[in-house]
Structure 1
Amino acid sequence: MDFTAVDLRVGTVVEAVAERDALHLVIDVGGVRRRAVSHITENYGPADLLGTQVVVVASGPEAVVLAAVSPSDGAAVLRPDRPVADGTQVV
Structure 2
Amino acid sequence: MKHRRTGTEPVTAHSPLRLRRTLAAGALVVFVAAAVRLALAAHSAGPHDSPSPTVLLILAVVCGVLAVAAVVDLVLITRRLRQAGKSAP
Greater C-alpha radius of gyration: 2
TM, length-normalised to structure 1: 0.24
Judging by fraction of residues, say which structure has more strand: 1
Greater helix content: 2
